[in-house]
Amino acid sequence: MTIAEQTGAGIDPRAFRDALGHYASGITIIGGLEEGQNGPEPVGFTCQSFYSVSTEPPLVSFSVMTNSTTYPRIRETGKFSVNVLSHHQHTVSNQFARKGTDKWAGIEWTPTANRNPVIADTLMWLDCDIWAEHEAGDHYIVIGRVTEMSPPEWHKHEPLLYFKGQYRHLRDGGIGR
């Protein structure tokens, strides 16, 4: 099959996802704090589509499926936290990726000044107000204005990476399993 035959509207969704898997990315937990029946409760989900947008003003973005059941609960608050996971937190990533479970069971966290959850021992974190949201196919692109971030002494770990469908981390300057 030629490159021309592989492009256009006939792209298979699974093949497209597999191709994008060749782009290594970090793993984040997008979090928020909503009012529950027994008071404030943390909510969150695993997200690998996260990136910086602007330094003036400080903006970041993430993408989330339009059928997410967690993101609308965060949207209602108008704010969110971004927890960039450390190399040893693959179990945290898996826990937040599951549907229908208590994602925060056993997770140590503290609130930001804006009351969003920061997960202990992450690589770094940001606290944001929702700046804009755009529908893009089967995802929303959410842009946040950073209002607070982890202090320099927080940044002591290596990142958790995701590449070709597996978690990876940096080792001796190279990619390792």
- Edge-to-edge strand ranges of the sheet holding 25-26: 25-26, 160-163, 166-171, 174-176
pLDDT at 9: 63
pTM of the entire structure?
0.88
pLDDT at 24: 84
* Residue 163 C-beta-side C-alpha neighbours within 13 Å: 11
Report the range of poorest mean pLDDT among 64-73, 133-142, 157-166.
157-166
What type of residue sits at position 61? Answer: S
Give the three-class secondary structure for 44.
strand
Confidence of residue 140 (pLDDT cuts 50, 70, 90): very high
Find the helix or strand (DSSP H, E) in which 94 lies: helix 90-97
CA dihedral 78, 61, 95, 90 (to 10 degrees): -150
